[in-house]
Amino acid sequence: MTTKLTLFTGLFLFLLTTLMVSCDKDDPIIQEEPEEPMEPEEPQVVITYDLELTNLTAAVDENVDNGYLAGTMSVTSDTSISSFQILETNVPFSINNLGEIQLDDADGLNYEQIQAFEFRVVVEDAIGQKDTADILLNVNNVDESPQNLKAYYDMNWSSQFANMVSSSNIGTGYPNLVPVNDREGNPSAAVNFQSGHVEIDSPADFNNMTEFSLSTWIKVDSIPGTYVTIISKSGPGSGDDDFSFKIRNNGQVWVTFTGTRNGSNNSSGYAVFDSNIQLDQWYHLVATYDGTHFKIYINGQPRTTSKPSVDIALKWTSTKMQIGKNRRGEHMYGDLDDVMVINGTLTNEVIERWFEDMTF
């Protein structure tokens, strides 16, 4: 009995093994399909535009014939940029392949009615990729054009003061002028006066302005005497001082002047403004004259006067115009930048904008 069971068990195992082998041969062999290689992601054209209305109504280059530079597109891409194009705009803008945006008719726009400039641009790179961006520029970033700008001294040492080129409205530098960083830290972009001064050529060019404005950035180092002078038109005699824009040693801003009042010639006057100018701090100072009175603005804000400006018409007889000095020898000790003379009275709004974002 045992022998039969053993033979039966062996036969059963043999048949089972044969059947399994047969099934393995008949079944198809399943192989996993290889993964397709992933296509590399296309490089993206990312528009990181950085636009500000810079000198929109004051030409960056006075010789520009086809518009005014409004800003430059800053675009990053894995390939070079081949073109810029404006698709839609509410004002006559144009754009070149450098991304420089031009306002084609700056003088023909009514900035009181237009609150913002809107336009859509498309950028294409070297391999044909495109991307668009909608751009909104607020009009409150616009610098009012000093259309009657009589003189502008940017105090950049390389452009004006290294050799003091003598030409109309450019003067002759005297000793103790040193290039320094301006208020934004740009090297040699302002001038430090240590009893030095600049004689303005052709002072008669500034005569007979019925209204005018003086603007500058200033940082006073010290006031050894009673006053330091920013800019003056004075001399040769004591009765010939048209005006002197200066700071007293107590921090007050003063304007002294000589002119005609009530038919009396050689009438002198002065205006003292509530202020507390500190040493070693930058300030934006503006003085305006409307034909009878002076006003002062400090950091964009008007200041009241503790000694009102008298009703007087300037004589315009002085023979010297100087930056950093007046006829009395009240020299400047400190830094000056962006000194301007404008034939006209700047408005409060313009002065405030110049303080917030002065770009010339």
Q: Which domain, by its residues, includes 123? A: 46-141
End-of-domain residue from the set 141, 162, 194: 141
Say how many domains are in the chain: 2
Residues 200 and 316 in one domain: yes
Residues 173 and 135 in one domain: no
Asked, for residue 17, whether it belongs to a domain, the answer is no
| 269 pLDDT higher than 50 | yes
Residues 86 and 217 in one domain: no
pLDDT of res. 99: 66
- Whole-model pTM above 0.75? no
For residues 321 and 212, the answer to whether their CB atoms sit within 8 Å is no
Residues 216 and 322 in one domain: yes
> How far is residue 171 CA from its own chain's centroid?
26
pLDDT of res. 182: 92
Contacts of 31 (CB under 8 A, 6+ apart): none
Residues 153 and 258 in one domain: yes
The enclosing domain of 222 has a CATH number of 2.60.120.200
Q: Would you say how long the chain is, in residues?
A: 360
Residues 187 and 333 in one domain: yes
End-of-domain residue from the set 88, 111, 141: 141
150/164 Cα distance (integer angstroms): 18
135: its two tokens: 């751009």
- CA distances from residue 139 to 116, 143, 144 in whole angstroms, order as listed: 5, 9, 11
pLDDT of res. 337: 92
Query: How much of the chain, in percent, has pLDDT values that exceed 90?
Result: 22
Query: How much of the chain, in percent, has pLDDT values that exceed 70?
Result: 58
What average pLDDT does this structure show over 248-258?
92
Look at residues 215, 221, 245 and name the one whose alpha carbon lies nearest to residue 233: 245
Asked, for residue 40, whether it belongs to a domain, the answer is no
The enclosing domain of 100 has a CATH number of 2.60.40.60
64/56 Cα distance (integer angstroms): 12
Residues 241 and 325 in one domain: yes
pLDDT band at 95 (very low <50, low <70, confident <90, very high): confident
Residues 112 and 230 in one domain: no
169: its two tokens: 């409205």
Look at residues 228, 249, 240 and name the one whose alpha carbon lies nearest to residue 329: 228
Residues 230 and 345 in one domain: yes
Task: Count other Cβ atoms within 10 Å, centred on residue 325.
Answer: 26
109/103 Cα distance (integer angstroms): 10
Q: Tens digit of pLDDT for each residue in 311-331?
A: 778 878 888 889 999 988 899
End-of-domain residue from the set 101, 125, 141: 141
Residues 160 and 94 in one domain: no
Q: Tens digit of pLDDT for each residue in 9-62?
A: 555 555 555 545 555 545 555 555 666 665 545 444 444 444 333 333 222 233
pLDDT band at 278 (very low <50, low <70, confident <90, very high): very high
pLDDT of res. 235: 79
